[in-house]
């Protein structure tokens, strides 16, 4: 592809046209003839590696700060926006060839995407999924180089879109994080439907205030034709009030367009009635919990806005299996139960504990920690929640990263001390899990919260193998 096709005709005013062989933002991946885009990251700055990119054969370097290299430099205001534009053009605007659904919110994004996947597949269509657990098209797992846990960066996102288009995807549903919206990872994408699940305390290390956090989430609805919002959530009501496009309001309250009532929760799942356009429909999903109702009606709303009939929507929800790391029951062959859940926010922790309390016969034992180098204001809040709701709490490490695990735990303890809840501190997570298993009694439910689908633990800047399913299995065997 020619440079003028990627950078615009203005390129020809200053330079001869050049054949471009690819796009890169990591100088180590640059091949001869590539465009290298200098991205300012949180830990390093791509401008520092422009020279290495030139040595590796970059034909053009895109930068927003002054650099001194021996190849043509194309200066731009915002290199994050520019790489999104370049990638979109280089891969031929692939997202225009399928229906694109974006799901944002603090909690529930992954589950909602998988519920939508089940509905779309029940309707007989091929769908791709991009998100926290994995990127897939049908049953095929797609691998990217991205280290971004939720939404890939702009270049890899367009690569994924292209691969999904080539695999004949008719729809793609993706998790859209607040970071992705704020950092222009989805710049140039246009969504057929945007979904908002909820807004609770998280990522304040990045956004600083809840107002900023909501404003980032709300950006999805500026680039979506239609929207589904949780109208029971204050953030959802604000998004609905400000949105220009068609908005479907979901929730439990009477003023919702799609609402749930007559909710029944058991260990085997959740049943409720969905009321839509004056008609009542019985729904069953295999995931227990009141929050599962909100996730289900969000997925229903997205499918209905895409024109899928209600009978197919209901069958699709019934066909949906559990999501890895979300209220996931670990096979243990014991007289107590072990559940793994990704809950890593105050709201998420409260939801999973309350869900388990709805069906637990014995004690609810909650084991959790908090991530390092992240929002530290939520730590005492989570400690207080577990102390109030759990019968017993085991405070341990999550992903401490470069922080002192003991200091993180001290923040959590500050909150649990405000309650009468019994607790113990075991810093090593493997030892903490062993302690929980060794001290569980008949009919107890152990919640291993925070790691979910992750199969590693980040200590310092290194990732170590740590799959809680394996840890449980090895200890019991």
210 against 275, higher pLDDT: 275
Token pair listed for 82:
């520019």
- The stretch 210-223 carries a mean pLDDT of 90
Query: What does the pLDDT average to over 466-475?
Result: 97
Average confidence (pLDDT) over 436-456: 95
Q: Please check the confidence at residue 144 and state whether its pLDDT lies above 60.
A: no
The pLDDT tens digits of the residues spanning 379-397 come to 999 999 999 999 999 999 9
- Residue entry with tokens 């969905």: 274
More confident residue, 287 or 415: 415
Percent of the chain with pLDDT over 70: 97
Asked whether the predicted pLDDT for residue 255 surpasses 90, the reply is yes
For residues 469-475, give the mean pLDDT: 97
Residues in the chain, overall count? 477
User: Which of 110-114, 161-165, 258-262, 321-325 bottoms out in mean pLDDT, i.e. has the lowest?
Assistant: 321-325
3-state secondary structure labels for all residues of the chain:
CEHHHHHCCCHHHHCCCCECCEEECCHHHCCCCEEEECCECCCCEHHHHHHHHHHCCCCEEEECCCCCCCCCEEECCCHHHHHHHHHHHHCCCHHHHCEEEEEECCCCHHHHHHHHHHHHHHCCCCEEEECCCCEEECCEEECCCCCCCCCCCHHHHHHHHHHHHHCCCCEEEEECCHHHHHCCCCCCCCEEEEEECCCCCCCHHHHCCHHHHHHHHHHHHHCEEEEEEECCCHHHHHHHHHCCCEEEEEECCCCCCEEEEEEEEECCEEEEEEEECCEEEEEEECCCCHHHHHHHHHHHHHHHHCCCCHHHHHHHHHHCCCCCCCCEEECCCCCCEEEEECCCCHHHHHHHHHHHHHHCCCCEEEEECCCCCCCCCHHHHHHHHHHHHCCEEEECCCCCECCCHHHHHHHHHHHHCCCCCCEEECCCHHHHHHHHHHHCCCCCEEEEECCCCCCEEEECCEEEECCHHHHHHHHHC
Question: Residue 206: its pLDDT value, please?
Answer: 65
- Of 313 and 267, the structure prediction assigns the larger pLDDT to 313
Distance CA 126, CA 122 (A): 10
% pLDDT > 90, the chain: 80
Contact 239, 229 (CB under 8 A): yes
pLDDT of 207 above 70: no
Assign 323 a pLDDT band (cuts: 50, 70, 90).
confident
Calculate mean pLDDT across residues 410-433.
98
Query: What's the whole-number mean pLDDT along residues 323-346?
Result: 91
pLDDT of residue 44: 84
366-376 per-position pLDDT tens digit: 999 999 999 89
What domains can be seen in the chain, in order of their start residue? 3-90 (3.40.1390.10), 94-319 (3.40.1190.10), 328-476 (3.90.190.20)
Q: What is the mean pLDDT of residues 465-472?
A: 97
* 23-32, 58-67, 137-146, 316-325, range with the lowest pLDDT: 137-146
Please report the sign of the dihedral spanned by the C-alpha atoms of residue 394, residue 395, residue 398, residue 404.
Answer: negative
What average pLDDT does range 263-275 have in this prediction? 91
User: Is pLDDT above 70 for 266?
Assistant: yes
Query: Would you state the pLDDT for residue 147?
Result: 45
Is residue 306 within 8 Å of residue 290, measured between CB atoms? no
Residue 268 CB-density burial (10 A; 0-12 exposed, 13-18 middle, 19+ buried): exposed
The whole model's pTM is what?
0.84
Across residues 269-297, what is the average pLDDT? 94
β-pairing, 462-465 vs 456-459, is antiparallel
Question: pLDDT band at residue 140, thresholds of 50, 70 and 90?
Answer: confident
| C-beta separation of 231 from 261 below 8 A | no
Please check whether residue 11 is in contact with residue 29, taking contact to mean a CB–CB distance below 8 angstroms. Answer: no
Q: What is the mean pLDDT of residues 122-140?
A: 90
Question: Looking at residues 316-336, what average pLDDT do you find?
Answer: 90
CA distance 64 to 41: 13
For residue range 155-171, list pLDDT tens digits in order. Answer: 999 999 999 999 999 99
**What is the distance between the alpha carbons of residues 210 and 232, in angstroms, rounded to a whole number?**
17
Q: Write out pLDDT tens, residues 174-205.
A: 999 888 898 889 999 999 999 999 988 666 66
């Amino acid at each position: 592809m020619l440079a003028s096709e990627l950078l615009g005709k203005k390129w020809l005013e200053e330079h001869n046209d050049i054949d471009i062989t690819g796009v890169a933002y990591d100088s180590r991946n640059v091949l001869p003839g590539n465009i290298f885009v200098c991205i300012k990251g949180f830990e390093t700055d791509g401008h520092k590696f422009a020279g290495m990119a030139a040595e590796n054969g970059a034909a053009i370097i895109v930068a927003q700060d002054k650099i001194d290299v021996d190849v043509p430099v194309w200066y731009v205001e915002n290199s994050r926006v520019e790489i999104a534009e370049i990638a979109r053009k280089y891969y031929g605007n692939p997202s225009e060839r399928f229906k694109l659904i974006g799901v944002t919110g603090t909690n529930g994004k992954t589950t909602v995407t998988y519920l939508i996947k089940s509905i779309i597949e029940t309707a007989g269509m091929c769908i791709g999924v991009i998100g926290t657990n994995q990127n897939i098209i049908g049953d095929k797992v797609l691998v990217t180089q991205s280290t971004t846990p939720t939404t890939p960066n702009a270049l890899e996102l367009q690569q994924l879109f292209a691969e999904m288009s080539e695999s004949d995807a008719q729809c793609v549903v993706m998790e859209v994080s607040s970071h992705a919206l704020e950092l222009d990872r989805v710049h140039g994408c246009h969504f057929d439907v945007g979904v908002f699940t909820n807004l609770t305390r998280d990522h304040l290390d990045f956004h600083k205030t809840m107002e900023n956090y909501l404003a980032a989430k709300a950006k999805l609805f500026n680039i979506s034709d239609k929207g589904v919002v949780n109208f029971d959530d204050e953030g959802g009501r604000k998004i609905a009030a400000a949105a220009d496009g068609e908005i479907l309001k979901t929730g439990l309250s009477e003023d919702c367009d799609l609402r749930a009532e007559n909710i029944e929760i058991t260990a085997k799942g959740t049943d409720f009635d969905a009321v839509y356009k004056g008609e009542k429909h019985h729904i069953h999903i295999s995931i227990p919990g009141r929050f599962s109702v909100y996730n289900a009606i969000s997925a229903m709303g997205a499918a209905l806005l895409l024109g899928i009939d209600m009978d197919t929507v209901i069958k699709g929800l019934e066909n949906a299996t559990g999501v890895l790391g979300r209220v996931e029951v670990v096979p243990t062959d014991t007289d107590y139960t072990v559940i793994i859940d990704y809950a890593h926010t105050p709201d998420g922790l409260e939801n999973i504990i309350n869900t388990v309390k709805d069906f637990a016969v014995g004690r609810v034992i909650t084991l959790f920690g908090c991530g390092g180098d992240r929002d530290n204001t939520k730590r005492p809040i989570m400690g207080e929640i577990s102390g109030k709701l759990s019968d017993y709490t085991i405070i341990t490490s999550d992903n401490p990263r470069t922080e002192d695990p003991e200091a993180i735990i001290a923040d959590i303890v500050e909150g649990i001390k405000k309650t009468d809840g019994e607790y113990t501190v075991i810093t090593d997570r493997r030892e903490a899990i062993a302690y929980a298993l060794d001290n569980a009694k008949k009919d107890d439910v152990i919640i291993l919260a925070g790691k979910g689908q992750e199969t590693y633990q980040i200590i310092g800047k290194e990732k170590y193998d740590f799959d809680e399913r394996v840890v449980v299995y090895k200890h019991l065997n």
